[in-house]
Amino acid sequence: MFQEYASQIQASTKLYLGYDLSDKQIQDLSLFGDLLLDWNQKLNLTRILDPQEIILKHFIDSMVLASYIQGTKFVDLGTGAGFPGIPLKILRPDLKVFLVDSLKKRLDFIDIVISRLGLKETRTIHSRAEDFGRDHHYRGQFDTVTCRAVARLPVLVEFALPVLKVNGLFLSPKGLQAQEELDESIAALNLLGGKVESLQRYSLGESAEHRAIISIRKIKETPPAYPRKAGIPAKHPLL
C-alpha cells in the first residue's frame, strides 16, 4: 500500500527536512508502513491509520530529530511501535540504534521490522526505562537519547540523563506545552546534571502544528540514586 505514496514520502521529506531520500530509503519506509498497519490489527500499535498521516505524523515527525543527533550511539526510550528510532535509522544508517520498551509484544513487531528491512546495528531491549537507566551495561553509554510521547518532561529527564555520556544530548519532542514542561523541569535538571540547550519550534503543516524539540545537555554525572525504582518517577516527579 505505502509504495503508492512513494512520491509523497520523497516530497514531504524534502519539503520539511531538506533530505533527498534514496530509492532504498523510500522502499524501507514503505515496507515499515505496511508492516505497521498489518500488525496494528493485532497489537493496536497506532491510532493513526491513514497512510498520509502516518507519513507526516510518524515518519517525518520522527526524522526531524536527525539534524539534532550527536554521535552515533543512540537510544530511543519507550519506542512503542518504533518511533522515532526506526525512521531515524532508515534516514541515518550510520547510527547504532537501541530501541527500549516495556512491552515485549511491541518489540516482537520491531524485531520483524529490523529483520525485513535488514537494519544493521539496531537492537531491541525489553526493559522499563527506570531499570534500563540503572543497568551498568547502559548507564552513561549513549551520545544521544530521545523519548517520544512517553511522559511529561520532569519524568523524562529522570529516564534520559542517567544513560547519557557526560556532554551527551537528550532530545525531547514536544507539542504546545513545551515551554510549560520545561519550566516544570528546572529542579530535575539541576539535580540530575542537565542544562537546557535550546527549544526549537517547527511546523509540519496545519494538521500537525505546535511541534517543538527540547535539547538538554548532560553537563555532569547523574547521582547514582537516579533513576528511582520503576513507577516512582511518574508518581512523584522531581518538581
For 8, 9, 44, 61, the CA distances from 15, given in Å and listed in that order, are 10, 10, 30, 12
pLDDT confidence of residue 89: 98
Helix (H/G/I), strand (E/B), else coil: 222: coil
Specify the pLDDT at position 23: 97
Beta strand pairing status for 211-218 and 164-174? antiparallel
Task: Give the pLDDT score at 206.
Answer: 79
pLDDT tens-digit series, residues 84-131: 999 999 999 999 999 999 999 999 999 999 999 999 999 999 999 999
Q: Helix or strand or coil: residue 146?
A: strand
- Give the Å distances, CA to CA, from 54 to 137, 140, 155, 159, 204: 34, 33, 27, 27, 12
Query: Which stretches of the chain score pLDDT less than 50?
Result: none
pLDDT of the residue at 32: 98
Question: What predicted TM-score, i.e. pTM, was given to this entire model?
Answer: 0.96
**The residue type at 119:** L
Q: Output the nine-digit C-alpha cell for 74.
A: 543512540
Q: What integer pLDDT is reported at residue 196 of this predicted model?
A: 98
How far is the CA of 70 from the CAs of 24, 150, 169, in angstroms?
A: 24, 22, 7
Three-state DSSP class for residue 109: helix
Contact assessment for residue 234 and residue 151, using Cβ atoms and an 8 Å cutoff:
yes
Q: Helix, strand, or coil here: 216?
A: strand
Supply the pLDDT for residue 207.
75
